[in-house]
Structure 1
Amino acid sequence: MTSEEDSIEQAAVARRERLMNLKAAKELMSTPDEGSEQVEDKTDQEDETANGDNAGLKFRNYVPQAKELQEGRLAPPVLPKFEDPIAAAPPSPEKKEVDPFLNIAPKKPNWDLRRDVQKKLEKLDRRTQKALYKLMEEQEKERQAAEMIEED
């Protein structure tokens, strides 16, 4: 039991020390030092000069009537020129107007069959073009051979 009491007392002592250190740190933070006094003096001097003559007045939106005060008027701010990137882009070429009623009509009942056969038809078209090309070449060779025979 004594060991438990000793550990509790030690914890209490450690806590008291931490609290005392925190109090001391707080007091140090709240006490003004020489640097902060100088800053306060400067702000007091600035307040005195601002409350002095009319030289400190600056008018932005107000146009004063007195001639002496008009000298303190500020020039209006210059806004940077903003170029709208959307407006600067050239207009796109006009698209064909698509009749909206074309999309309303239902598809023909064989549209899926046509879609499936389309690949085969493309392959067949390529083969047809090759066959026609070969026939044209053969005819050209025969014609050239006939011309050679006639020349001899």
Structure 2
Amino acid sequence: MAAESDPIEERKARLQALRLAAELSAPPENDADDGDLEAAAEDGEPEVVIKFRNYVPRDEQLQQLKIVPPQPPKFDDPLAKAPEDANDTEDTLVSIAPKKANWDLRREVAKKLEKLERRTQRAIIELMQEEEKRRQAAAGGGEDDME
């Protein structure tokens, strides 16, 4: 077990030496940023610039910092220009869409419809005959009065 731990310890030592060498050779980035901040604070230059995008300040001095909202470009709606095309697309959608499967319903109802059609025709004939009888009675009654 002691033999196995020796290569591990050697590797750890090598990695630590590489880290130290990398830290010494590379300039620290955080220290440079801190130096810039300190220099800016000493010069009296403001670091943060306030921008009012969604807030309307009441103070006149802050009104100058207000940002004018950008105007979006005008959008020309192609559908508004050609409303006739919209009707054509609806027609194509209707023609493409599958039709209801009602052929079986038609087959089941066909006998009942034939029966109703026959009854309707009989009723129409009876009404016509009654109307003809009334006309003949009215015409016959009118002739009787003339004699």
TM-score, scaled to structure 1: 0.41
The structure with the greater share of residues assigned to helix is 2
TM-score, scaled to structure 2: 0.42
